[in-house]
Each structure stands twice: as C-alpha cells, then as structure tokens.
Amino acid sequence: MRRPKYFTPAEVAAHNTADDLWVSFLGKVCDLTPLMSEYKGDVLLLPILEFAGKDISSWFDPKTKDVQKYVDPQTNCVRYYTPRGRFVHVPPSGPRSDWASNIGEPWWRDKRYEVGLLSAKTRWIRVINTLTSQEQRMEVCSEETLDEILHRYLHYNSHACSYTWKHDGANLDMSRTLSENNVPDDDLELDQLMLDRDLFTPAILLHFNDDLTEG
C-alpha cells in the first residue's frame, strides 16, 4: 500500500483562504477548496472559512467520526452541535423546504477531500551540508522516513540525492524514520528542564558522493 503523506500544522495553516482552504480533524488533512467552489456564496461556508488552515477536531465525535451531537433540552431531540453555526452538509434542526437530504457522503466522510494525515508529533532537525557548510533548520513529521525528509530538503538543494546522510557518525537508513535511526527526540525532556530546544536540535550531516545525481 502507498504510504500516506504527513503534514505539519504549519503546512496546513498555510492554506487559509477560500481559494485554497485546508483543515485538519481527527488526524486527517482535507483540502476543501473544491467544496468552497461548489457552494460559493453560501452562508453555510462561513464557519469553515473562519477555521481555514486550522484543526477542527472539536467539531467531531472521535468514536462515530460524525459531527458532535447533543440532546436539545427544549425538544428532547438529538441534534448536531454546531456552536460556530451550521455548516455545509449539516441538516437543519427542523423540516425545511430548501434542504435536500440526498447529499451523498458529507464532506467530513468523503475521501475525495483527503490529502494526507496530520503529524501527531513534529520535530526540528538541522541538515548540514559538509561540502558547503550550509545549514538548514527544518520542521519535519516524526512519522516520515528519511527519504520523505530528503524530498522536503530538495527545495533547498536539488542535488540532495547525491549525498550520504549521517548522524553521529553512522549512515542513516533512508527507509526508516528518525527515531528508528536512533536520532533522539529530546523535546519532552528539554521542556521539563526548561532548556531551549533550538540549542539542542539534532544535526543530520550530508556527505557528498562522487556522482552528481539530480534530485
């Protein structure tokens, strides 16, 4: 099976307009730009626009994967809980002539909008090119393999595939994650000790190989 793509919260936050709108919820990252186009001008888009680029997990029940519900104290009926306002594909609280119930899959269940997964834990690394002494500080997903991190680094060095990646003198297995390569993640301990994470960011050293392979 093809591995899912992981995103950092910062990457999701960059997509925060009606013309380019992502959200994350329950660990998923969804591109709702097509939804915004389909319902353009509809007031039911406003709650989604308000949270463009943000995590909206609180809108959903993690067990049912559906929108949160509550019992209306006045009617004793179960209704969807939408404190920010009713949004697209959420039915009205009562009968309405302008509501079509045959909408198919609501957008929060529709896999067509899914673009990847939200990282459960991001971490910072320093990638140091030993040939040029250039250093790049990068936020990466803890679930990513070194190959996937290399793909991120191609933005800074298109020849990154021509280097051997090392940490603490050992070659890194590019098919494994940082933790699987014994690259420590000391964030929790540093927080407990109230030490600056920036001063203890692990370094990945890139050693140039003979061939100059384009990335």
Are 73 and 91 part of one and the same domain? yes
What's the pLDDT score for residue 74? 82
| Both tokens assigned to 89 | 């594909």
Give me the amino acid identity at 204.
Answer: I
Output the CA angle 119-35-71, nearest 5 degrees. 80
Are 12 and 107 part of one and the same domain? yes
What's the pLDDT score for residue 35? 97
Asked if residues 125 and 140 have their Cβ atoms less than 8 Å apart, the reply is yes
What's the pLDDT score for residue 125? 95
Tell me the C-alpha distance between 117 and 65, whole Å.
15
Of residues 96 and 178, which shows the higher confidence score? Answer: 178
Of residues 203 and 2, which shows the higher confidence score? Answer: 203
Of residues 3 and 2, which shows the higher confidence score? Answer: 3
Asked whether the predicted pLDDT for residue 214 surpasses 60, the reply is no
Report the CATH number that the domain containing residue 15 is assigned in CATH.
3.10.120.10
Asked whether the predicted pLDDT for residue 150 surpasses 70, the reply is yes
Q: In this structure, is residue 1 part of a structural domain?
A: no
Report the CATH number that the domain containing residue 179 is assigned in CATH.
3.10.20.90
Q: How does pLDDT run across 37-81, given as a tens digit for each residue?
A: 999 999 999 999 999 999 999 999 999 999 999 998 888 888 999
- Nearby residues of 125 by Cβ (< 8 Å), 6 or more positions away: 137, 138, 140, 149, 178, 183, 201, 202, 203, 204
| Mean confidence (pLDDT) of the chain | 90
Are 11 and 111 part of one and the same domain? yes
Q: In this structure, is residue 136 part of a structural domain?
A: yes
Asked whether the predicted pLDDT for residue 123 surpasses 90, the reply is yes
Residue that has been written with the tokens 């679930």 in this structure: 143
Asked whether the predicted pLDDT for residue 213 surpasses 80, the reply is no
Of residues 33 and 184, which shows the higher confidence score? Answer: 33
pLDDT band with cut points at 50, 70 and 90 for residue 190 = low
The most distant pair of C-alpha atoms in the chain lies apart, rounded to whole Å, by 75
pLDDT band with cut points at 50, 70 and 90 for residue 99 = low
Residue that has been written with the tokens 């519900």 in this structure: 69
Asked whether the predicted pLDDT for residue 159 surpasses 60, the reply is yes
Number of independent structural domains in the chain: 2
By C-alpha distance, which of 6, 2, 3 is closest to 121? 6
Q: What's 66's DSSP letter?
A: S
Tell me the C-alpha distance between 48 and 25, whole Å.
12
pLDDT band with cut points at 50, 70 and 90 for residue 215 = very low
What's the pLDDT score for residue 77? 85
Q: Domain limits at 113?
A: 6-118
Strand partners, 60: 67
